[in-house]
Chains A and B, each alone.
Chain A
């Protein structure tokens, strides 16, 4: 039974985590490859069980009840289509990350701070996906948060990382509190924590609405929805690169899984206004995330903000799914939900690829700041071309996989005019416009990231002396790139694999994707639209091959090397080339005043004055200013006022205890 194999592998991962400190304490040389290798094996078993559960049908699914944990609940674990799909997403990322880490881990200075927590992190994520009752879900969620926090604090000598860890811990605790409240409301006064019980119970509409808001706060903060995303750009870059890839690519998907499980599966019929909230948050995250990403100079922070954008896109799809589901438009709901989950899968692939590339750059050149890089395409060619593949995928360019999931979401938007509610009729096209804007800004962001880092000329000695990294890291990136290519060229099988999931969530599935003609995918029906990734890929290859052959054979193929033309300026120094900041300046000038209240001021001294001219650009993160700083101020204020409780007399303390007891007795009397 796959679920038994999965649970045993999770136990295996936990075992590896326990063994790891012993190995690292003894400073054994083969500890790093051994631990990562063992994690890889267990993650592969989990991946295979997930695939069996998803593709094999109900014969391979099932539940398990273990008598661990709370005595009157036990621990329920289940493998149904939704958890199987996310198990595949989580464990494919884990397999590739472990493979990458076998090579990357050799560069780790303090392996003892990373190795024990890595398998624990994997175990926690898998346990969240496998849980079938609220208690084990929450325990696994906390386990996942704490082990990733330990990984974020791995390089604790850096002040930035310490601050990142602090903010992460704060936001993770907040998120778990919200989830606790949500599950408490769902379980009700009888304490029916098992998912099966919650699913069967009838809930009042006000309760399910409240649960939605709590899930958005809890799971949304872990996924990275604006305005709860602030920990993500601090914490994801702080961890080692393979852990960053897992946090961005996989842990955010576990949060999305939690959201889908509760909102689509456990609470039953949604209300139409839920779509309004989810769509607005998703669209806002998409645009704000990528606007921040365009302005970043730290490569990993740029990728973290891009994760915020893609999570926004996933939530746009989920919001559309909620809108259709609440209006009983089953076919459209299936399209939206399938597109969302497919985008989550695609994002885990190309975000991991990009983070691995960033890790290679960090190891090979020793720099994360793209303003100090440049010309790495000559020094680290394989990393450069694989990173380019990741950039193409994330910018939603055919024939790769990012385009397919965005195309499907756009097709879902085209089905929306039949929605009856006016608010949705205005919000859906607005979300579509913001999605298109986010996609275009993402392309600009990754042209900048790739162009400044890998192209142009080196801007510092670190970039001039960069070296290519080891084979394990490169091979992991090849695997990811090929899966991206296959998912883009043959998306049909992937969509068919997701149909049991959408059947389970919205009681309908996308039409079976045809093999003929030419392996195209069909969102709703053949007469509406179709897209063939294979045909596009084939035509592009044929056209470029034909062009090269014709020109080389009938015209010239001679090449002469010379200094750059540069409009006739000789020997321009590398300081004259475009920097990352100058590349982003037009976009900052157009979008900055709206999104960041950007102010640009310049002081020019009069002619003859020796003082320097100054150009000052000030950007404000409005989320910090309007949400977090007032909150911080309020908390500090309240703490100051409540501090008086530290210095009361004994009689006051006794009267406080007495008052609390009386209050609780009154509550029991009225509520029971």
Chain B
């Protein structure tokens, strides 16, 4: 394949992930609107919003620190690196061996760390609410994610996402532990992306905000970068679920460009299906009160732990 071509394809994945993330958000908003019998904004509206925000002047509070000004870029960088490492249309790309599942979880943890600190920087009560609740959900969502990683890694024999994807394509089978891991991962994805039933991404009421509360003081290009990072995170989680649990259509290692193009098409299809299912679920269920969410995410932790336990007990679970 040639080193140059390999690096080029890896670069294309990184750019593609960035380019499609706002489109995914636009698609979910459109589907949600149609389900609620509204017309809804166009799918390209998030791109227009980002462009508008980026060109505006950023208004910073008087006591905003250097950390506040630069946290959006750090959050964006860590989320983009994590999203770019998840195999989307092809397994076995040039840097794919660096796509360690635990490392990706930890990179998202870094992004969340900086976001929570940015929420606390100005010293308003809204920022405090957002950061404190976000860290509460994270104390349960992150161990749940690690246990899900364990379950999948014990089945596939490695924590490298490319190897996992290749294993899942070659040995498609129904397994109890993977079923438990899938449900756990869906719960964690809903929590981390601040979707209903954990947090309402469309609201700005203090009783219901978590993510929105932390970014309340951001404006202009900083807000644009943070919203792009949130869109990347959604794309990351849907791609992750697709890569592990529905890996068919992904180009394997050393396959040609035609297979990769096919992989891109199936990947976009999986994103659309995943977004659609998520929106249907969101429309069908109400948001939970805040202290019911730890029980919800704790359920994901229990499922991941149960999956790991079953695999420790017997290899055929």
Taking Cβ atoms with an 8 Å cutoff, the residues of A that contact B are 374-375, 377-378, 381, 385, 388, 392, 395-398, 403, 407, 410-411, 413-414, 416-417, 425-426, 428-430, 432-433, 436-437, 439-441, 443-444, 447-448, 450-452, 455-457, 517-518, 520, 526-532, 535-536, 539-541, 543-544, 547-548, 551, 555-567, 572, 574, 576-578, 582-587, 589-590
Closest A-B pairs by Cβ, 3 of them: A578-B128, A456-B123, A451-B120
CA gap between A466 and B134 in the complex, in Å: 30
Interface majority SS on A: helix, strand, loop or mixed? helix
Query: When the two chains form the complex, which single residue of A547, A557, A578 contacts B120, counting CB atoms closer than 8 Å?
Result: A578
Decide yes or no: A440 and B150 within 8 Å by CB, A447-B131, A531-B103, A544-B74 being known contacts.
no
B76 within 8 A of A: yes
CA gap between A102 and B313 in the complex, in Å: 56
Decide yes or no: A536 and B61 within 8 Å by CB, A527-B158, A530-B97 being known contacts.
no
Query: When the two chains form the complex, which single residue of B73, B146, B315 contacts A544, counting CB atoms closer than 8 Å?
Result: B73
Decide yes or no: A551 and B294 within 8 Å by CB, A530-B97, A543-B81 being known contacts.
no
Decide yes or no: A436 and B309 within 8 Å by CB, A558-B57, A577-B123 being known contacts.
no
Chain A residue numbers with a CB within 8 Å of B163 are: 527
Check B135–A448 contact: CB distance below 8 A: yes
Q: How far is the CB of B18 from chain A (nearest CB, A)?
A: 10
Q: How far is the CB of B224 from chain A (nearest CB, A)?
A: 8
Decide yes or no: A429 and B150 within 8 Å by CB, A544-B76, A555-B55, A555-B221 being known contacts.
yes
Chain B residue numbers with a CB within 8 Å of A410 are: 102, 146, 150
CA gap between A54 and B138 in the complex, in Å: 40
Q: How far is the CB of A380 from chain B (nearest CB, A)?
A: 12
Residue of B nearest to A407 (CB): B102
Query: When the two chains form the complex, which single residue of B100, B110, B121, B217 contacts A392, counting CB atoms closer than 8 Å?
Result: B110
Chain B residue numbers with a CB within 8 Å of A411 are: 159
Check A577–B65 contact: CB distance below 8 A: no
Check B59–A562 contact: CB distance below 8 A: yes
Query: When the two chains form the complex, which single residue of A439, A455, A560, A566 contacts B67, counting CB atoms closer than 8 Å?
Result: A455
CA gap between A381 and B102 in the complex, in Å: 32
Check B113–A560 contact: CB distance below 8 A: no
Check B123–A551 contact: CB distance below 8 A: no
B196-208 vs A, CB cutoff 8 Å, 1 = contact: the mask equals 0000000000100
CA gap between A396 and B216 in the complex, in Å: 27
CA gap between A589 and B136 in the complex, in Å: 10
Residue of A nearest to B105 (CB): A436
CA gap between A563 and B224 in the complex, in Å: 21
Check B158–A417 contact: CB distance below 8 A: no
Check A587–B312 contact: CB distance below 8 A: no
Check A561–B147 contact: CB distance below 8 A: no
CB within 8 Å of A: which of B103-124? 103, 106-107, 109-110, 112-113, 116-117, 120-124
Query: When the two chains form the complex, which single residue of B128, B140, B154 contacts A414, counting CB atoms closer than 8 Å?
Result: B154
CA gap between A566 and B216 in the complex, in Å: 7
Q: How far is the CB of A15 from chain B (nearest CB, A)?
A: 46
Residue of B78, B116, B120 with highest tally of chain A CB at under 10 A: B120
Q: How far is the CB of B170 from chain A (nearest CB, A)?
A: 14
Check B59–A556 contact: CB distance below 8 A: no
Other than the given A433-B301, A451-B121, A544-B73, 16 more pairs (CB < 8 A) read: A378-B63, A414-B154, A417-B312, A433-B143, A437-B139, A444-B136, A450-B117, A532-B98, A540-B78, A543-B77, A544-B77, A551-B221, A559-B60, A561-B64, A583-B132, A586-B290
CA gap between A559 and B222 in the complex, in Å: 11
Check B294–A556 contact: CB distance below 8 A: no
Residue of B nearest to A543 (CB): B77
Chain A residue numbers with a CB within 8 Å of B113 are: 392, 395, 397, 443, 447
Chain B residue numbers with a CB within 8 Å of A416 are: 312
Check A414–B291 contact: CB distance below 8 A: no
Chain B residue numbers with a CB within 8 Å of A530 are: 97-98, 100, 160
Check B65–A576 contact: CB distance below 8 A: no
B248 within 8 A of A: no
Check A417–B124 contact: CB distance below 8 A: no
Q: How far is the CB of A553 from chain B (nearest CB, A)?
A: 11
Residue of B nearest to A551 (CB): B221
Chain A residue numbers with a CB within 8 Å of B160 are: 528-530
Chain B residue numbers with a CB within 8 Å of A564 are: 61-63, 122-124, 217
Decide yes or no: A440 and B216 within 8 Å by CB, A426-B309, A535-B95, A543-B77 being known contacts.
no
CB within 8 Å of A: which of B275-314? 290-291, 294, 301, 305, 308-309, 311-313
B56 within 8 A of A: yes
Residue of B nearest to A532 (CB): B98
Can you spell out 30 A-B residue pairs with CB atoms less than 8 angstroms apart?
A381-B66, A385-B67, A395-B109, A397-B106, A436-B142, A440-B138, A440-B139, A440-B143, A441-B139, A443-B142, A444-B139, A451-B116, A456-B120, A457-B63, A520-B97, A528-B157, A528-B160, A529-B153, A530-B100, A531-B102, A536-B81, A556-B58, A557-B221, A560-B57, A566-B216, A576-B124, A577-B128, A582-B132, A586-B290, A590-B140
Chain A residue numbers with a CB within 8 Å of B69 are: 559
Check B61–A426 contact: CB distance below 8 A: no
Q: How far is the CB of A350 from chain B (nearest CB, A)?
A: 15
Query: When the two chains form the complex, which single residue of B58, B77, B206 contacts A558, counting CB atoms closer than 8 Å?
Result: B58
B253 within 8 A of A: no
Q: How far is the CB of A417 from chain B (nearest CB, A)?
A: 5
Chain B residue numbers with a CB within 8 Å of A561 are: 59-62, 64
CB within 8 Å of A: which of B46-89? 54-67, 69, 73-74, 76-78, 80-81, 84
Residue of B54, B64, B117, B225 with highest tally of chain A CB at under 10 A: B117
Query: When the two chains form the complex, which single residue of A403, A455, A566, A582 contacts B65, counting CB atoms closer than 8 Å?
Result: A455
Chain A residue numbers with a CB within 8 Å of B291 are: 586, 589-590
Residue of B nearest to A444 (CB): B135
CB within 8 Å of A: which of B180-229? 206, 216-217, 219-221, 224-225
Decide yes or no: A447 and B135 within 8 Å by CB, A531-B103, A564-B217 being known contacts.
yes
Q: How far is the CB of B230 from chain A (nearest CB, A)?
A: 15
CA gap between A433 and B97 in the complex, in Å: 25
B127 within 8 A of A: yes
CB within 8 Å of A: which of B214-267? 216-217, 219-221, 224-225
Q: How far is the CB of A391 from chain B (nearest CB, A)?
A: 8
Chain B residue numbers with a CB within 8 Å of A407 are: 100, 102-103, 106
Decide yes or no: A417 and B220 within 8 Å by CB, A456-B121, A559-B60, A590-B294 being known contacts.
no
CA gap between A290 and B102 in the complex, in Å: 21
Chain A residue numbers with a CB within 8 Å of B315 are: 417
Chain B residue numbers with a CB within 8 Å of A398 are: 103, 106-107, 110
Query: When the two chains form the complex, which single residue of A385, A388, A566 contacts B126, counting CB atoms closer than 8 Å?
Result: A566
Check B98–A520 contact: CB distance below 8 A: yes
Check B313–A425 contact: CB distance below 8 A: yes
Check A585–B62 contact: CB distance below 8 A: no
CA gap between A560 and B142 in the complex, in Å: 37
Q: How far is the CB of B131 from chain A (nearest CB, A)?
A: 7
Residue of A nearest to B160 (CB): A529
Q: How far is the CB of A309 from chain B (nearest CB, A)?
A: 13
Check A444–B308 contact: CB distance below 8 A: no
CA gap between A214 and B225 in the complex, in Å: 56
Chain B residue numbers with a CB within 8 Å of A583 are: 128, 131-132, 135
CA gap between A154 and B311 in the complex, in Å: 54
B125 within 8 A of A: yes
Q: How far is the CB of B93 from chain A (nearest CB, A)?
A: 13
Check A414–B309 contact: CB distance below 8 A: no
Chain A residue numbers with a CB within 8 Å of B153 are: 414, 529
Query: When the two chains form the complex, which single residue of A430, A536, A556, A574 contacts B56, counting CB atoms closer than 8 Å?
Result: A556
Check B138–A444 contact: CB distance below 8 A: yes
